[in-house]
Structure 1
Amino acid sequence: MTDGAAAAHPYQRVAAALRDRIDRGLWPVGHRLPSRSVLALEFAVGENVVRRALELLVAEGILEGRAGSGTFVRARQERRIMLRSLISQGRAGIAPPGFEGTWETESTARIAPPPPVARRLRLADGELCVRTAYEFLAPDRRPVMLTTSWEPMTLTGRTVVVLPEGGPLAGRGVAARMAHIGITVARAVEHIRPVRVDRHQAELLGIATGAQATSIQRTHYDTGDRPVETADIVIPAEHWEIAYEIRIELD
């Protein structure tokens, strides 16, 4: 579907009109929107069209619904720059460069990965992993990013780095931990796509179900091109703008 066709949908036209009122300050932060029926009459559309428009603006972080009270204009969150750097990735730990918060983790050993993860790690049937879930918190303790990492136990099992957040190299990142057990990480590949967060992710992040986010599927490879770790990173659009730094080398 083209952008022009998408823009023709009535709910998107309603959303654009409401967004314009908010952007121009006609509806300030905390303003309670008229009811769906009132907005439906104003725009000469059905209430389902208004509902979809409001859901879109909630997903964008512009509006918030309050149970039993209605829909309100939400305070815009300051977006930070997340730098994905081809220069500094190898030196980084688990947190992205410039991140000024903390994180909470939970690791589970000897767990069977889902089929897509097993394929990314090129695992044989029955091979197990360590799964580590990360919840990144801003200095004010707001959750701002989620990561789920998988590592084959054939590599790290029975070593001091089997748990990414335990042992002598806790929190040091994949490259440093693998180097400690004689594995040299040579490169990482990232696949990026836009997504909308599901209910579980929304609850963890404190945002609306269906809010816009970026999914980064990252896999680390050793010098023999063997995958040694893979992760799914969920980055809410309302918290982060992603930028890539690329080294330029002249011949």
Structure 2
Amino acid sequence: MREQPSYLRVADVLRQRIADREWVPGDRLPSRGQLAKECGASEAVVRTAQELLISQGVLEGRAGSGTYVAEPRRKVRMIRSQHRERRDGSPFQADMAEIGKVGTWESRSDAMLPAPPNIAARLGISEGDYCVRTTYEFLADGRPVQLSTSWEPYSITSGSLVVLPEAGPHAGQGVVRRMAEIGITVTRAVEMPEAGQADAEEATLLGIQRGALVTRIQRTYYSDDGRAVETADIVLPAALCEIVYEVPASP
């Protein structure tokens, strides 16, 4: 049987010591040198184990101070359901209101950007065709919990009041309601979740450690005639969010 990597063994030891309440939330851990001696490992191995536990939300690193046991944080529940887009107003705000939080977001839209190859393929348009790209940082009670980068074909919304998702009279109402305003009926969304690790930019925006575990969701909305009207890349930190899919069941 293959031997467990040293850093995983050390991570298990640290996790167990926290579970045994040798250290409680807010406590500073001993130095890496001391932990290395106690665990019979090198400081490099201890550092890797700590980075793993930081990515999982068990520990937190404080620049110039050390490594601490993280305060437990209730995860934000993100509902993925066919019903969430049918509500009035913002689906994100409605989701947050259901769990007693205030949902807000910051966004930036850029119009008439040429579609890169992967986005063009997802939208069924030609590479270089113009799109509207909108980047989002979603917040629950002022704390970042989700990132999203959305692409919409410019040919669909050009000249309409919904050309910019976060401007005009229908700002912030979500793809389904905005498209309905220009006579397009969105009937389905396809989502592809995948586990990953936060890159430097994502870590900075979400306030998490670089390399922390995240869930990436590739989502595309389709109209009733099968046309892709929007595609987005969504990033959620695993330590802060739990993703719940609601699937309808027919008798």
Deviation digits for residues 105-144 of structure 1, max 9, x if unmatched?
11111112332212111121320111111111112x1111
The one-letter code of the counterpart of 1:228 is V
Mapping 1:6-45, distance limit 5 Å: 8-45=4-41
Number of aligned residues: 245
8 Å Cα contact 2:84/2:91 also seen in 1: no
CA distance in 1, matches of 2:74, 2:61: 20
CA distance in 1, matches of 2:115, 2:51: 34
CA distance in 2, matches of 1:22, 1:113: 48
Question: Which residue of the partner structure matches residue 167 of structure 1?
Answer: 168
Question: Which residue of the partner structure matches residue 232 of structure 1?
Answer: 233
RMSD between aligned residues: 1.7
Any unmatched runs of 5+ in structure 1?
none
8 Å Cα contact 1:33/1:71 also seen in 2: yes
CA distance in 2, matches of 1:70, 1:126: 48
Cα deviation for residue 89 of structure 1 reads 3.3
Question: Which residue of the partner structure matches residue 72 of structure 2?
Answer: 76
The one-letter code of the counterpart of 2:105 is W
CA distance in 2, matches of 1:94, 1:154: 25
8 Å Cα contact 1:129/1:150 also seen in 2: yes
Q: What TM-score, normalized to structure 1?
A: 0.92
8 Å Cα contact 1:112/1:128 also seen in 2: yes
8 Å Cα contact 2:123/2:228 also seen in 1: yes
CA distance in 2, matches of 1:185, 1:129: 18
Mapping 1:154-193, distance limit 5 Å: 154-193=155-194
CA distance in 2, matches of 1:241, 1:125: 35
Q: What TM-score, normalized to structure 2?
A: 0.92
Cα deviation for residue 153 of structure 1 reads 0.2
